Chain A
Amino acid sequence: GDSVTQMEGPVTLSEEAFLTINCTYTATGYPSLFWYVQYPGEGLQLLLKATKADDKGSNKGFEATYRKETTSFHLEKGSVQVSDSAVYFCALSDNTGNQFYFGTGTSLTVIP
């Protein structure tokens, strides 16, 4: 079946460092891909999405490109801030309209 695999955390970075959080997926057909962010004590919020191959989703300085050839949707940010400390979830929706899958989440801590 369809699934999403994220890199294990936790990840700790210094402020202004470059961030990459890896996400790969397994799916039949052409799924849509998403990144969610969860700040401490809150629910998940949609960060960005991409609905077809080679699409780039972007928001708040974060980017992710839908790579069908490598079945990946890695999250990147050029310069992280302390306020980016959160848990990040990769997610997939299949092309049947029936299922939505979340990865296990990657915790990011940014230190000043």
Chain B
Amino acid sequence: NAGVTQTPKFQVLKTGQSMTLQCAQDMNHNSMYWYRQDPGMGLRLIYYSASEGTTDKGEVPNGYNVSRLNKREFSLRLESAAPSQTSVYFCASSVNRNQPQHFGDGTRLSIL
């Protein structure tokens, strides 16, 4: 009963390095999301994909790119990591945009 799987769980990068966070869901959901969670800031939407083949910017897209590889997979890429991108990143999916979202366990990313 996997649900939403994120890899890796932890990562440390140096400033300027690049990295791709992976997310896969096995619930046949149409919509997928990437959030970051910072202390005192709640959840902030980075990018979302309402359906396979589409992606849109959320509240804080700068410094990130995404790819909806297929219906199951939605990856988040940091091209040139900055210390301000140190955060916990969550991937989520839902049947459609207005339905409850199911979350992965997060990726804890530190950028030195």
A interface residues with partner B (beta carbon < 8 Å): 32, 34, 41-46, 49, 89, 93-100, 102-105
User: Which residues from chain B contact A34 at a C-beta distance below 8 Å?
Assistant: 100
8 Å CB interface, B72-107 against A: 90, 92, 94, 96-106
Distance in angstroms between the alpha carbons of A48 and B40 in the assembled complex: 23
Q: Is the CB of A89 within 8 A of B43?
A: yes
Q: A43-B105, A44-B103 are in contact. Are A98 and B98 (CB under 8 A)?
A: yes
Instruction: Please list the residues of chain B having a beta carbon within 8 angstroms of any beta carbon in chain A.
Output: 4, 40-43, 90, 92, 94, 96-106
Contact A32 B98 (CB under 8 A): yes
| Contact status B98-A93, CB under 8 Å | yes
Tell which of A43, A100, A103, A105 touches B98, judged by Cβ atoms closer than 8 Å. Answer: A100
Complex interface: chain B residues within 8 A of A45 (CB)? 103
Contact of B97 among A42, A43, A44, A100 (CB under 8 A): A100
A96 to B98, CA, bound (A): 8
Contact (Cβ within 8 A) A42 B105: yes
Tell whether, in the assembled complex, residue A100 and residue B101 are in contact, meaning their CB atoms are under 8 Å apart. yes
A37 to B106, CA, bound (A): 14
Contact, CB under 8 Å: A99 / B98: yes
CA distance A45 to B3 in the complex (A): 11
B66 to chain A, nearest CB (A): 17
- A97-B97 in contact (CB<8A): yes
Q: Is the beta-carbon distance between A102 and B99 smaller than 8 angstroms?
A: no
Which A residues lie within 8 Å of B105 (CB)? 41-43
B contact residues around A43 at 8 Å (CB): 4, 90, 92, 103-106
Output the nearest chain B residue to A92 by Cβ-Cβ distance: B98
Residue of A whose beta carbon sits closest to that of B6: A43
